[in-house]
Each structure stands twice: as structure tokens, then as C-alpha cells.
Amino acid sequence: MKIPLTQKSLCGCCVIRERCLPAGLNDEEVLLLDQQMEHRLPIKKGALLYSQGQVFDSLYAISTGSFKTRILHEDGRSQITGFQLSGEMLGLDAISEERHVCDAIALEDSTVCKIAYDSLTNLESEINPLQRSFNKTLSKEIVRDQSIMLLLGSMRAEERVAAFLVNLSERYHARQQSASELVLRMTREDIGNYLGLKLETVSRILSRFAQENLINVQGRLITITDVKQLQLVTLSS
Amino acid sequence: MKIPLTQKSLCGCCVIRERCLPAGLNDEEVLLLDQQMEHRLPIKKGALLYSQGQVFDSLYAISTGSFKTRILHEDGRSQITGFQLSGEMLGLDAISEERHVCDAIALEDSTVCKIAYDSLTNLESEINPLQRSFNKTLSKEIVRDQSIMLLLGSMRAEERVAAFLVNLSERYHARQQSASELVLRMTREDIGNYLGLKLETVSRILSRFAQENLINVQGRLITITDVKQLQLVTLSS
DNA sequence: CGATTGGTTGAGCCCATTCAACGAATGTGG
DNA sequence: CCACATTCGTTGAATGGGCTCAACCAATCG
């Protein structure tokens, strides 16, 4: 929790600054924000950042690594609601009930930056653009969720898997990672759960895509060889 | 757009005040909010309050009536993302891209209250509790969407329909309407689209529920005769 | 009155699931 | 170091739930 002064782990010089909470703020404003945050807390692979039911007091931004969020239904069913990459925020859904309504689990050794929600709302009053940009962050999450509703509600299995790969590719690309060589951090079961499919179905479809020379599958390393065709698959209703 | 002064259509004395944007504000604060709004604009059944792609500048709160929101995919597919009742807000998803990303269609003759987003953000700076309560409104929408993801991702058809009816019943109840006599404002096709099912499937399942004496179906009038059993159906994974 | 929209029901089919076997990779303890 | 267990992934065969296609009816509307 303590940050060595020598580390200078400030938002201002963070590589993901413009994709994260400080996006659009000037240096002065970023400094104000920065001082309210705990930076680069390490979370081990498989560890829970928070869990369902836990009292909410802080939001998190992923600095490095990736997470999955999962809601559990009373009857034991679970649904993975998203895979989050660097720069994305965790805990937004907890604001409404002041308790976390999902589990956030690290898919690999990761680091997160933490800010108390009270601090954030205070800053929102002081820094006008922050208020608007935080509204945008929340709204963006709504749009994301609704596009998954479209996927789950009206796409066939092949289309879902293709859409998943294309989406991941775009997000990797935005993070200066290869858009064609995807190193998946989640299991086939995770993917299936997220897409409303069984893991066998996901596996079969990946094999089929490989056979059609759209992708190359070596376990969790997926190489996209024909993006255009893959994008077409997502549209082939 | 002009409000007759005699009408006194103020949030302060609105029956849904505590379920709407003014929730939690004191009388003075409500008055400030009230002055920034256009009240009780009539929207005819079937009319679009806004449509996908349209530039975003205002949010809406449903005063009376109900709406459906629908996103259209490039390939022609559509997905209904929600049915909204009085007191619920429309347009939240547009904040992120400054354009509407869905269509909002009135399911019956309705009235809405309109507030410019700029006015709202200005008020957020002035009225501290408004900022927090608006964050909650956004976060609540995220939670709602994620519970639909659970429904679409892991429930079977019967469970989805049962969950739909139970949810509608609860929301009607919260609005002092009968929790057992549901007058549906949407078609079977709308319901099916929303639930990721075909309209025939919805119709068949309603008939089956009727045969099992869980409900009574007379077209769009659904009478719930055994809530407990219906709730059990939603859990019977 | 016909035309249109919305709803129900039946028969057959197909896509994704279930159940199952197997292989590869990884980790653990003796 | 090997033996063993565990986790993860692939593939096959059979099943079934929801879809497709179709016919029919009721209500509404111009």
C-alpha cells in the first residue's frame, strides 16, 4: 500500500494515461487525481480484487494485466460479464448498491491503481472535466454491456466466437500489442461462459476456423490470419 | 415545448419524484433541477423519442407510459435492450459517444421530461448529492444490463420468460400497479427479441405456464396466479 | 369489407448441448 | 527423477431444445 517516493508511479507519466481515468485532464488536474490514488498494487493471478457482496468503497483501474468479472446467481449459475484489459476500470457496477455485485479475478499477475470513491466524487466537484469524463466512462460500460446483449441475444455460436476474437484483436491493437497474435489469458470455459456457449462448442468452432484458414490455434495462442473474413463471419446472420 | 404556468408540472409535486432524477434531493434542490427541465412532453405510441446516430444533447425521464430501446446492428439484426417504465431514464448510453446508440420507441402514449445534458452537468457541480445520485443511476443501468447478460447467457427459454414476468411484476408493484395483473405493452415479438427467443417460443411457453396454472393468458393481459412457483422456474437451472 | 397486424399451434429439422473418451501440459510429492 | 493427479483442451456420437416453416384465427383499421 505504501509507494516508495523513488518509484514516481504517477498517472502523469503512465503509459496508459490517455486510456485511463486521467484521460483528457491537464497536468495540473492529473496531479490532483494522482495524489488521491494508490498506484500499481500487485494482484496475483487467480486472486480476487473484490468479491460479490463486499462493501464498496473504491474503484480500480487496471495498470497492467487483465481481469475477468463474474456474477453469481442464487441458484449457482455464473456469468462472466467481461474481460478487462489495461486502462479499463473495475467496480463501476458497485456504485449503485454500495456493494460489489460481481467478483473481479486476475487472469494473470496484474497491477491496479485504486481510488476511494469518496475521493473521486470530491475531485469531480473540483475538476469539471473529470465529472464529464467519469460520466462517459460509466456510459461506455453501458454501451459495452448492450453490445454483449446483442451478441447473446441474436448471434449464432460461430458469430459470437468471431466477434470475440475481433473485439480482442482491436483492444490488443489499441494497447500497442499485436492485433493478430492473440495470447488468450482465459480458459475455453471462461470464453464459453462469457459467450453463452459450452466450452466444447468454443473449442470446436476455433478448430473449424483454423480449418478454414481464418486463424491458427496453438492452445491459448491464436493467430488471426484472415481478419476480413473473420469480421465477415460476425455479420453473416 | 411550452409549459402553461397554470399546469404547475414541477418535479416537486410529481408522483414519481422519489423514483426519478430528483430522488434524494431536498425541495430547494429539486426546484433548481425543475427549472432546467421541460416537463411532460407527450410522445405518441410508436413514435421515436430519439434514434440511433442522432446527436445527443438531452436526457429524458419517463413521466408516464413506457418505452422500448433497440439497437440495430450493421447487418440488420436488432436487439431490444430494455423496456422502460415511469421514473426510468432514457439516453444514458448516449453520453459516451455524444450520439444516440439506440432507438427509443414509445410503447403507448407517454410523457417524458427532458433535461439538457449540459444543464445536468452544471447542476451536478452545484448540487453535490445530484452528482452522486446520477452516478448511481448510471451504475444501476450497468447492473441491470449485466443481469440480462446472465439471463441471455445461461438461462433456458422457460426460465427467461418466467424471469421476465417476475421482473415486470415487481416493477409494476413498485409503481402502485397490480403485481399480478400485468397489462403487457409490447408484442410477443418484442419480448422474444429482448429475451433472445423467437416469438413462437414465447407464445408456446406462455401457453405452457397457463396450462400449469402459473398464469392466465388473455392476449396481452397476463394474470399471475402462482408467483412463488413462477419464481422457482427462474431458478430451476 | 378486405388488408394488416398480432397471436397460437403443429410438424420437422438443425444447431448447440450432453456425455464420453482421450491427449497434452503442468504441478506435486515421494 | 519419476509416478501420479489435476487442469485444460480436443474430438466424436447421440440427444434435444428452440427454430423454421406453415396454417390458422382474432382484432383492428382504413
Cβ burial, residue B2 (10 Å; 0-12/13-18/19+): exposed
Q: Same domain, yes or no, for A33 and A92?
A: yes
At B92, list the grid cell: 444514458
B227-235 and B157-174 are packed helices; what angle lies between their axes, rounded to 10 degrees? 130
| B160, A196 Cβ separation under 8 angstroms | no
Does the CB of B6 have a partner CB in chain A at under 8 Å? no
Residues in chain A: 237
At A154, list the grid cell: 441474436
Average pLDDT in the A27-38 region?
A: 92
Rounded (5°) CA angle B19-B191-A52? 55
In this model, does residue B33 exceed pLDDT 80?
A: yes
At A153, list the grid cell: 441475444
Distance A178 CA to D9 C1' (A): 24
Residue A218 neighbours by CB under 8 Å, 6+ apart:
none
Query: Beta carbon of B187 within 7 Å of strand C?
Result: yes
Q: What whole-number distance in Å separates Cα of residue B16 and Cα of residue B19? A: 5
Which residue type does A87 have?
Answer: G
In this model, does residue B190 exceed pLDDT 90?
A: yes
The beta-carbon neighbor of A154 closest among B102, B124, B196 is B196
CATH number of the domain that A221 lies in?
1.10.10.10
Tell me A172's DSSP state: H
Q: Same domain, yes or no, for A228 and A157?
A: yes
Question: In whole numbers, what is the pLDDT of chain A averaged over residues?
Answer: 94
Contact flag B138-A142 (C-beta cutoff 8 Å): yes
Residue B209, domain member (yes or no): yes
Distance A189 CA to D5 C1' (A): 21
Residue A80, domain member (yes or no): yes
Q: What whole-number distance in Å separates Cα of residue A178 and Cα of residue A71? A: 30
Average pLDDT in the A30-57 region?
A: 95
Residue B1, domain member (yes or no): no
**Range list of H helices, B101-198:** 117-126, 128-154, 157-174, 188-195
In this model, does residue B88 exceed pLDDT 60?
A: yes
Q: Same domain, yes or no, for A157 and A121?
A: no
Q: Same domain, yes or no, for B85 and B20?
A: yes
- Closest-approach nucleotide to residue A220, Cα vs C1': D9
- Closest-approach nucleotide to residue A222, Cα vs C1': D9
Query: Beta carbon of B204 within 7 Å of strand C?
Result: yes
Residue B139, domain member (yes or no): no
User: How do residues B62-74 score in pLDDT, each as one tens digit?
Assistant: 999 999 999 999 8
Sort out which chain A residues have CB atoms less than 8 A from B84's CB and list them. none
In this model, does residue A3 exceed pLDDT 70?
A: no
Q: What whole-number distance in Å separates Cα of residue A111 and Cα of residue B105? A: 43
Number of domains in chain B: 2
Q: Same domain, yes or no, for A184 and A226?
A: yes
Q: Same domain, yes or no, for B182 and B227?
A: yes
Does the CB of B146 have a partner CB in chain A at under 8 Å? yes
| B34, B11 Cβ separation under 8 angstroms | yes
Strands laid side by side in the A58-64 sheet:
A37-43, A110-116, A58-64, A89-90
Interfacial A residues in 23-82 facing B (CB < 8 Å): 71, 73-79, 81
Query: Beta carbon of A188 within 7 Å of strand D?
Result: yes
| B14, B63 Cβ separation under 8 angstroms | yes
Q: Same domain, yes or no, for A125 and A208?
A: no
Query: Beta carbon of A153 within 7 Å of strand D?
Result: no
Query: Beta carbon of A198 within 7 Å of strand D?
Result: no
Predicted local confidence at residue A237, as pLDDT: 62
Query: Beta carbon of B220 within 7 Å of strand C?
Result: yes
Closest to A64 in 3D by CA, of A109, A12, A20, A7: A109
Residue B43, domain member (yes or no): yes
Question: In whole numbers, what is the pLDDT of chain B averaged over residues?
Answer: 94
Rounded (5°) CA angle B39-B42-B46? 140
Residue A216 neighbours by CB under 8 Å, 6+ apart:
A210, A222, A223, A225
User: How do residues A138-169 score in pLDDT, each as one tens digit?
Assistant: 999 999 999 999 999 999 999 999 999 999 99
Q: Same domain, yes or no, for A78 and A108?
A: yes
Which of B68, B103, B131 is at the close of a domain? B131
Q: Same domain, yes or no, for B114 and B79?
A: yes
Least confident stretch, A17-26, A66-75, B8-17, B175-184: B8-17
CATH number of the domain that A32 lies in?
2.60.120.10
In this model, does residue B160 exceed pLDDT 90?
A: yes
Backbone angles phi, psi at A72, to 5 degrees: -110, 130
Residue B4, domain member (yes or no): no
| B215, B223 Cβ separation under 8 angstroms | yes
Q: Same domain, yes or no, for A186 and A106?
A: no
Q: What whole-number distance in Å separates Cα of residue B161 and Cα of residue B158? A: 5
Q: Same domain, yes or no, for B44 and B113?
A: yes
| B198, B191 Cβ separation under 8 angstroms | no
In this model, does residue B181 exceed pLDDT 50?
A: yes
Contact flag B146-A76 (C-beta cutoff 8 Å): no
Predicted local confidence at residue A10, as pLDDT: 82
Domain of residue A51, residue span: 11-131
| A215, A223 Cβ separation under 8 angstroms | yes
Does the CB of B83 have a partner CB in chain A at under 8 Å? no
Cα torsion through B174, B177, B181, B183, rounded to 10: -100
Cβ burial, residue A26 (10 Å; 0-12/13-18/19+): exposed
Residue A48, domain member (yes or no): yes
Does the CB of B92 have a partner CB in chain A at under 8 Å? yes
pLDDT band, very low/low/confident/very high, at B3 (cuts 50, 70, 90):
very low
Which residue type does A200 have?
Answer: E
Residue A140, domain member (yes or no): no
Which of B103, B131, B159 is at the close of a domain? B131
Q: Same domain, yes or no, for B160 and B116?
A: no
Closest to A195 in 3D by CA, of A165, A151, A233, A147: A151
Which of A80, A99, A131 is at the close of a domain? A131
- Proportion of chain B above pLDDT 90, given as a percent: 91
